[in-house]
Structure 1
């Protein structure tokens, strides 16, 4: 079964497309950055995609060892700070050309007012015993970063206060008034360090989010606080059911899910004080659980492609959660394809959604077409590039796009496509066919890396006076990137590609 769509794309019009896909990406807790495999996965992501910021939990957790206490000669408890691991992590980020989007949390054990923790790695989610000590910690860390990396650099790192305080699992009792106090004290501490720091919150997820956002903005207005941006999270999954190590659920209708962001945007703009304030989605994905096999699939890749084409309409940025599968919220995974959040599976194996981001990163230029299955941009040199997807949530059917692009010169062109679908760039299928081994050998790992690459296809043809016409076939849940470029003849003297064969047999015309 094949669906067909025809687009006559003109060069006189320019459509709106705010491509912020590379602004930020998520990570597991910061302490994981000390692992070699973590750095290898991030290096691959930066080489192929090149995110500008990275955001994750746990900068103040005890495995980072920043906050310490000792008793002085008079018997008083004093704070001291240990930046050994912080420097290692930040140095690694600097080396890979990525800035932190600083999420301040969770609570150091010695500073915490209670024992409640979250996750396998036990991040403390209670308020501080002393807000004076908390503010001192925030300032000490920022001042150390300024001293090490330079003030002009560090003040460009956004600062977010806590993570999902509207959930009792992430903030004791989901105490709204207590979070507002935490935000206020943190805001003052950050701005006192340097007023140029961009500071925001409340980093809420989609639970009672309307009321939380309204009350947060009312509080900020009443206290004359001026957050520089608003943050929230966005996931697309119905409540999942657990089966063994894994959770399964249905993907939500994407338009309905997008409507929630529109509501948040409208709430922000309903306050005259905050109208137009940037909104950052500091976490988004399909499922909100790191054990959902959907994350490793081509369905995920196509769904995320649809989202990336729309999210810029409402948000300043949208940070995919996460770049890699070195991640331990529910413990250490048993297999390389376990439904982790990451763009990269353990073994440094790209998943299909990895290529969605790599393809969108290449969409730099003047947008001349945007629809529910295609974005086309024209570059300064006159060439075209595009990303297309065939999201099939219900009925699976192929999609053939018939495209005509404007071109005045009747010359020869090369169409190059990179395709990810069920049969190409899909290492999960190969892993499944291999018997789903939990622990990969070196040979198996290399096979999966090789299978994770998109399939590349080229063809050449001549433009006519009517433009350049061609078609692209997308299998169900495929994501395709293509480039259309005028051929620059570079033939060496005497070289014959056909080597005596019939030239007409190899032209592709």
Structure 2
């Protein structure tokens, strides 16, 4: 990536004895900097919630070469540990067939997908769904690929399926490996699109599934209810009832899962809706009969729509950073949906169609990708998180890392489908602070993500928004999408880094110590 002069947009100043290209020497102005962040101060250790899990679409998509390429690309740059797939038991995975009255299981496609994931350094966050046609009790199906969502009259066949599945993956991958996976029962049973049954029937499905898994090995981790929304009252649907049911039935709950999308009936909520939802969720779980249960938000995005122009643009990147930073310590994971636009819930789309992926179908990264790449650079001790400044420290190396973002406070949430209009919202914002406690003359890399850098959407539109970019067009857009504005700054001889920048609305900046 080409190094560019920061002074086109911002001033980044270091008071060191040596200055690098693109940097202006500090003046007396910096002596009066009011905010000082102590890089050696007591930090708050935390579990990294942003790279734990990533949404990965439908299981059969994992058989595609482009899916694997994008998974590996996302793993390399963003560090995702787990990936969650819909429909591991769906008909297009061919896991079950009736052979003259005898049930026969075939795990060939399941093995292929999981082999690809594990060889890429990504573990399965298993979603037990959907019903194979031979198990579903009705004709109700959803989405163009016809996910069977009607629960059977009894769960004998389902229990047998889950039992044989668990035995097989342990035999193939080993209990030491499989015991590190997660097994989530179903997907959004509170949504008619994914569950043509009652709440009580879902609870019975959970009972059958959890009992079957633990019978194979008590080391397998199971959880739910994987519900798909929070109510207008800020409470996660079914969460409290699910925990009460499991306590009454003496069922295991190794983790609690839900999907805190920041919208109700498609209408955006307040800017901090997600962090408020997660604060509520954390409180409920900690006060429940399962206070040690992990908390995994296995789907999340600025909206659940797979055709939301916001997903392709810059504003969502600042939103991602804010929500994740504000959710530190509340949950164990907040899984973005998804790493790829190949997630074809409603069919294929154009090159930029508002898909939920970090990367589009032509392998062009979006600003959301850079948000996760920058978050991946952060440490595991939180030093400061306020007013668009997040500073962390790596516990082992003591490296310091900061992210700055300008997310206009006037926006209640990142609105659906209004990307272009948002650029006129908000004002430029000056960031001015000192970071003390670093090494004398310490070197910091600086990256700026804005509407002109690390963002290929404008160039795509200038080229006429081709439905299917030619090979050379796609390559050029890929290069532009990766090219954030870069430079370096130095700390002073006394180990103080002085930073002064003006960010336009939605800009995101990474400042990372080099060792």
Bin of the TM-score, shorter chain as denominator length: 0.7 to 0.9
In the alignment, is the contact (CA less than 8 A) between 2:446 and 2:488 conserved in 1?
A: no
Q: Distance in 2 between matches of 1:300 and 1:268?
A: 29
Out of 286, 293, 297, the residue aligned to residue 269 of structure 1 is 286
Q: Distance in 1 between matches of 2:332 and 2:357?
A: 22
- Give 1:257 deviation, angstroms: 3.4
Partner of 2:19: none
- Give 1:311 deviation, angstroms: 2.0
Partner of 2:223: 200
- Give 1:263 deviation, angstroms: 2.1
Q: Distance in 1 between matches of 2:490 and 2:218?
A: 57
Could you tell me which runs of 5 or more consecutive residues in structure 2 were left unpaired when the two chains were aligned.
1-8, 11-29, 412-424
- Once the two structures are superposed, residues 291-315 of structure 1 have per-residue CA deviations (whole angstroms, 9 ceiling, x without a partner) of 1111111111110100110223321
Relative to 1, partners in 2 of residues 1:346 and 1:408: Cα closer, same or farther, differing over 3 Å? closer
In the alignment, is the contact (CA less than 8 A) between 1:64 and 1:85 conserved in 2?
A: yes
Could you tell me which runs of 5 or more consecutive residues in structure 1 were left unpaired when the two chains were aligned.
72-76, 241-248, 487-509
Relative to 1, partners in 2 of residues 1:210 and 1:89: Cα closer, same or farther, differing over 3 Å? closer
Partner of 2:402: 386
- Once the two structures are superposed, residues 72-131 of structure 1 have per-residue CA deviations (whole angstroms, 9 ceiling, x without a partner) of xxxxx2110111111111111011010001100000011110111111211100113441
Relative to 1, partners in 2 of residues 1:401 and 1:113: Cα closer, same or farther, differing over 3 Å? same
Out of 59, 71, 82, the residue aligned to residue 30 of structure 1 is 59
In the alignment, is the contact (CA less than 8 A) between 1:412 and 1:460 conserved in 2?
A: no
Matches within 5 A, 1:460-471: 460-461=489-490, 463-465=492-494, 467-471=496-500
- Give 1:239 deviation, angstroms: 3.9
- Give 1:424 deviation, angstroms: 0.7
In the alignment, is the contact (CA less than 8 A) between 2:453 and 2:485 conserved in 1?
A: no
Partner of 1:136: 160
1:422 pairs with 2:451: yes
Out of 346, 358, 379, the residue aligned to residue 373 of structure 2 is 358
How many residues are treated as equivalent by the alignment? Answer: 467
Matches within 5 A, 1:245-256: 251-256=268-273
Q: Distance in 2 between matches of 1:268 and 1:368?
A: 27
Matches within 5 A, 1:473-488: 473-485=502-514
Q: Distance in 2 between matches of 1:15 and 1:227?
A: 28
In the alignment, is the contact (CA less than 8 A) between 1:15 and 1:369 conserved in 2?
A: no
- Give 1:21 deviation, angstroms: 1.1
- Once the two structures are superposed, residues 52-72 of structure 1 have per-residue CA deviations (whole angstroms, 9 ceiling, x without a partner) of 11112100000000011111x
* TM-score between the two structures when normalised by the length of structure 1: 0.87
Q: Distance in 2 between matches of 1:266 and 1:459?
A: 42
Partner of 2:214: 191
- Give 1:382 deviation, angstroms: 4.8
- Give 1:426 deviation, angstroms: 0.8
Partner of 1:7: 35
Relative to 1, partners in 2 of residues 1:106 and 1:365: Cα closer, same or farther, differing over 3 Å? closer
Relative to 1, partners in 2 of residues 1:459 and 1:408: Cα closer, same or farther, differing over 3 Å? closer
1:90 pairs with 2:114: yes
- Give 1:190 deviation, angstroms: 0.4
1:329 pairs with 2:345: yes
| Structure number with bigger Rg | 1
In the alignment, is the contact (CA less than 8 A) between 1:6 and 1:401 conserved in 2?
A: no
Q: Distance in 2 between matches of 1:78 and 1:106?
A: 21
Instruction: Tell me the SS of whatever aligns to 1:156.
Output: coil
In the alignment, is the contact (CA less than 8 A) between 1:139 and 1:189 conserved in 2?
A: yes
Matches within 5 A, 1:366-405: 366-379=381-394, 380-392=396-408, 394=411, 395-405=425-435
Q: Distance in 1 between matches of 2:491 and 2:113?
A: 52
Relative to 1, partners in 2 of residues 1:212 and 1:365: Cα closer, same or farther, differing over 3 Å? closer
In the alignment, is the contact (CA less than 8 A) between 2:285 and 2:293 conserved in 1?
A: yes
- Give 1:157 deviation, angstroms: 0.8
When structure 1 is superposed on structure 2, of 316-325 and 376-385 the one drifting more is 376-385
Q: Distance in 2 between matches of 1:472 and 1:447?
A: 29
Partner of 1:494: none
Out of 215, 221, 239, the residue aligned to residue 247 of structure 2 is 221
In the alignment, is the contact (CA less than 8 A) between 2:57 and 2:343 conserved in 1?
A: yes
Q: Distance in 1 between matches of 2:34 and 2:87?
A: 49
Relative to 1, partners in 2 of residues 1:448 and 1:466: Cα closer, same or farther, differing over 3 Å? closer
* TM-score between the two structures when normalised by the length of structure 2: 0.86
In the alignment, is the contact (CA less than 8 A) between 1:17 and 1:370 conserved in 2?
A: no
Q: Distance in 1 between matches of 2:392 and 2:319?
A: 20
Q: Distance in 2 between matches of 1:8 and 1:454?
A: 31
In the alignment, is the contact (CA less than 8 A) between 1:352 and 1:426 conserved in 2?
A: yes
Q: Cα RMSD (Å) of the superposition?
A: 2.2
Structure number with higher relative contact order (C-alpha < 8 Å, ≥ 6 residues apart):
2
Q: Distance in 2 between matches of 1:194 and 1:466?
A: 53
In the alignment, is the contact (CA less than 8 A) between 2:406 and 2:507 conserved in 1?
A: yes
Instruction: Tell me the SS of whatever aligns to 1:404.
Output: strand
Instruction: Tell me the SS of whatever aligns to 2:137.
Output: coil
Q: Distance in 2 between matches of 1:211 and 1:442?
A: 46
In the alignment, is the contact (CA less than 8 A) between 2:84 and 2:125 conserved in 1?
A: yes
- Give 1:337 deviation, angstroms: 0.6
Partner of 2:306: 290
- Give 1:391 deviation, angstroms: 1.0
